Amino acid sequence: MTGRTHVLRADLSAGTVERERVPERWRRRYLGGKGLGARYLYSELDPDADPLGAANVLAFCVGPLSGSLPGETRYAAVTKSPLTGLFLDSYAGGTFPERLAGSLEDCLALLVTGASDEPVRIELENGEGRIRPSAEWGADTVDAAAAHPDSAVACIGPAGEAEVRYATIASDAGEHHAGRGGAGAVMGAKGLKAVIARGDPAKPPSDELARLREEYAERYADADTGRWQAAGETLESIDFADEVGALATEGWRKGTFEGTDAVGIDAAREASVGRENPDDPVPGGFRIETDDGETVPRGATQMTLGAGLGVDDFDAVAALGGCCDRLGIDVISAGNAVAWLARASERGAVDAAIEFGDPEAARAVIRRLAGVSATDSASEPADDIATDSASDSAADPVENLDPAVIETLRLGVEAAADRFGVDGIPTVKSMELPAYDPRAAVGMALAYATSDRGGCHRRARPIEREVFGAWSDADRIEAVIAAQNARSLSWSLVADDFAGETLRGEDGVAFLRALSNATGLAYPTTAAELDETGERIWTLVRLFNAREGADRAADALPDVLTEPIADGPAAGSRIDPDEFAALLDGYYRARGWGRDGLPTRETLDRLGLADVRDPDTPVGTPFANASE
């Protein structure tokens, strides 16, 4: 094997797919996945490029070790977000990334540019791609995948076709999603219904890598994280958040949920008909049967569609998650949109019969957001949440709702709050926060504020440790930066989120050295080089966002977080604006950025980014002294 040294570039405007070699320096310094995707976006996009325009780049990226790493193979969808207007990287696992990596062969990514006048799909096999007409436009994610039974499919549903700013890219018939930030809307705007991977799954290119993978997988299964993942995976998150008083409930009005036991991990185990990968040491998510078919809920499903909407029936919550999966819409953003509408309805700002605790109303709103009638069964089978009669006004709780409300909510909660004057649902960089309330753990507030793709808990999740100890600001800063750098590295290797946790150290060095032995290609060879690679990639994304106008102001927290939590163990907790400003200063100083939140020239020199930065990208002014 010669290693992954190329990309495929599909120009939908021209109808062509061509191979091109990745610059050697890019491959070594950014690896693949997030890093390489960020390097292409920074190089090729002009500032202020329309995320839904033909010029935007959508990259389906794998990593140099895809097929060789333990845990679930994943891919990265990298683009400019239509929700935030900033950098977006979103990830999904399952069968599709295994076969995507195999289909790409010696390529690290499929880069999609341009836009087609008619719906198309891209077929990948043997390191080559073909653009073909798509007859599945209008189908949901399950039916679109079923049209290609012998292939692995990543596709959009009605939400992506409607260019909802938080539409997902669904794979494995909706079981997995590149979810947050609207990569699915970018596909819809380009007229791209699906990417079809026809190749066999990628495999380790040497016996040495196969041995390392097996040894690591055995160690991981016996480690604390491996045992946690096998026992309940992220479905335990709602139980944890409720216990510590950090569970955003009923539109962020409370910190605990009385119905947690009804929708938590024990309820999931009871309802489950099996696991995703039952024969693996780490068996994956829980399979749940609903009237719409099988669904695999993740932690965000119960937290956002359960506690966040005040729904305390597990079957109803799972069905709402399955509805989002089929329509191709992000569960966190969609759940927050419904919660915003319920709060707006309570205040009389909109005319809608939407209340917390009503899954029928939530489902009707989600379908409308995705561009599907609340009662139309064309895109998914009827179920026990759906009502029977389209002529009965009770069948459509949003029947009288001004269409402008739904149209605005499709742009995101922030847009709706600005237009209709109803706040209370927090966003950062225009992205709705997940249900970990940062008022219960200030380190989580720092993680949200500095997240490169908007309000996201996956860049860093210090809340899992902070709530059990007395943390200083220095502890919070260290934890957030370490996690952000480590995950930038992991997501550039495109490793499993959990099994890949230690790859920034000697384990990562061992895998990359074995890859070098197998391919003759050079990669970072020390743990220090890997750490610097993660920091370089995080800083490159900051340059991309800075060029789009994001600076310290973009890292601001919404006013609602300065109000105290009303109940539970964290009652009275709030974010103090002055204290948080000092925390943010400390974070910037530790990163080698200026008070304005921009990397300084000295930091860019240290990370080898000085010659990468273009003249349109501002740089930071260093702090005058250590005490400033």
Q: Binning pLDDT at 50, 70 and 90, where does residue 626 land?
A: low
What residues contact residue 427 under an 8 Å CB cut-off, 6+ apart? 412, 413, 414, 433, 454, 455, 558
Please check the confidence at residue 381 and state whether its pLDDT lies above 60.
no
Q: Binning pLDDT at 50, 70 and 90, where does residue 502 land?
A: confident
Return the higher-pLDDT residue of 282 and 552.
Answer: 552
Please check the confidence at residue 617 and state whether its pLDDT lies above 90.
yes
Please check the confidence at residue 1 and state whether its pLDDT lies above 70.
no
Nearest to 358, CA basis, from 410, 419, 297, 317: 317
Residue 380, pLDDT score: 45
Q: Binning pLDDT at 50, 70 and 90, where does residue 151 land?
A: very high
Please check the confidence at residue 393 and state whether its pLDDT lies above 70.
no
Q: Dig out the tokens for 123 from the structure.
A: 């077929």
- 59 forms beta bridges with 78, 111
Residues of the chain with pLDDT > 90, as a percent, come to 83
Q: Dig out the tokens for 571 from the structure.
A: 């009652």
Residue 385, pLDDT score: 36
- Count other Cβ atoms within 10 Å, centred on residue 21: 11
Q: Which ranges of 306-355 does DSSP label H, i.e. alpha helix?
A: 314-327, 331-346
Please check the confidence at residue 33 and state whether its pLDDT lies above 60.
yes
Residues 550/429, Cβ–Cβ less than 8 Å: yes
Amino acid at the residue 241: A
Q: Dig out the tokens for 47 from the structure.
A: 């500032």
Q: Is the dihedral of CA 485, 486, 489, 494 positive or negative?
A: negative
Please check the confidence at residue 234 and state whether its pLDDT lies above 60.
yes
Q: Is the dihedral of CA 447, 453, 459, 465 positive or negative?
A: positive
The string over 217-242, giving b where at least 16 C-beta atoms fall within 10 Å of a residue's C-beta and e elsewhere, is beebbeeeebeebeebbbbbbbbbbb
Please check the confidence at residue 625 and state whether its pLDDT lies above 80.
no
Per-residue pLDDT of 87-104, as tens digits, reads 999 999 999 999 999 999
Residues 589/620, Cβ–Cβ less than 8 Å: no
| 3-class secondary-structure state, position 337 | helix
Rg of the chain over Cα atoms, rounded to whole angstroms, equals 23
Please check the confidence at residue 131 and state whether its pLDDT lies above 90.
yes
Q: DSSP letter for 46, please.
A: P
Q: Dig out the tokens for 27 from the structure.
A: 């491959």
The string over 159-172, giving b where at least 16 C-beta atoms fall within 10 Å of a residue's C-beta and e elsewhere, is bbbbbbbbbbbbbb
Please check the confidence at residue 394 and state whether its pLDDT lies above 80.
no
The strand ranges marked E within 250-350 are 272-275, 286-290, 293-295
When mean pLDDT is compared across 117-131, 271-285, 312-326, 516-530, the lowest value belongs to 271-285
Render 588-626 in DSSP notation, one character per residue.
HHHHTB-TTS-BBHHHHHHTT-TTT--TTS--BPPPSST
Residue 576, pLDDT score: 98
Per-residue pLDDT of 240-261, as tens digits, reads 999 999 999 999 999 999 999 9
What is the C-alpha to C-alpha distance for residues 192 and 156, in angstroms, rounded to an integer? Answer: 8
Q: Binning pLDDT at 50, 70 and 90, where does residue 388 land?
A: very low
The strand ranges marked E within 12-83 are 16-21, 58-61, 75-80
Mean pLDDT of 189-207: 97
Q: Binning pLDDT at 50, 70 and 90, where does residue 162 land?
A: very high
Q: Binning pLDDT at 50, 70 and 90, where does residue 171 land?
A: very high
Nearest to 338, CA basis, from 356, 314, 312, 323: 356
Please compute, for residue 19, the number of CA atoms within 13 A of its CA located in the half-sphere on the CB side.
Answer: 15
| Residue owning tokens 């309330």 | 437
Decide the pairing of beta strands 107-113 and 6-11.
parallel
What is the C-alpha to C-alpha distance for residues 141 and 335, in angstroms, rounded to an integer? Answer: 19
Mean pLDDT of 417-439: 96
Q: Binning pLDDT at 50, 70 and 90, where does residue 498 land?
A: confident
Please check the confidence at residue 384 and state whether its pLDDT lies above 70.
no
Helices 331-346/314-327 angle, 10° precision: 110
Please compute, for residue 421, the number of CA atoms within 13 A of its CA located in the half-sphere on the CB side.
Answer: 4
Q: Binning pLDDT at 50, 70 and 90, where does residue 580 land?
A: very high
What is the C-alpha to C-alpha distance for residues 22 and 36, in angstroms, rounded to an integer? Answer: 9
Mean pLDDT of 394-401: 74
Q: Binning pLDDT at 50, 70 and 90, where does residue 374 land?
A: low
| Residue owning tokens 């960089």 | 429
For residue 610, CA distances in Å to 450, 544, 606, 613, 620 come to 22, 14, 8, 6, 13
Q: DSSP letter for 440, please.
A: G
Residue 118, pLDDT score: 98
Sorted by where each starts, the structural domains of the chain and their CATH numbers stand as 6-197 (3.60.9.10), 247-426 (1.10.569.10), 436-494+526-606 (1.10.599.10)
Amino acid at the residue 430: S
Residue 627, pLDDT score: 54
- Count other Cβ atoms within 10 Å, centred on residue 396: 22
Residue 173, pLDDT score: 93
Per-residue pLDDT of 316-368, as tens digits, reads 999 999 999 999 999 999 999 999 999 999 999 998 889 999 999 999 999 99
Please check the confidence at residue 238 and state whether its pLDDT lies above 90.
yes
Query: In Å, how far from its chain's centre is CA 187?
Result: 16
Residue 292, pLDDT score: 79
Amino acid at the residue 533: T
What residues contact residue 472 under an 8 Å CB cut-off, 6+ apart? none
Mean pLDDT of 60-89: 96
Q: Binning pLDDT at 50, 70 and 90, where does residue 229 land?
A: confident
Mean pLDDT of 48-64: 98
348 sits in the region (left: phi over 0; alpha: psi -120 to 50; else beta) called: left
Q: Binning pLDDT at 50, 70 and 90, where does residue 376 land?
A: low
When mean pLDDT is compared across 22-26, 104-108, 244-248, 379-383, the lowest value belongs to 379-383
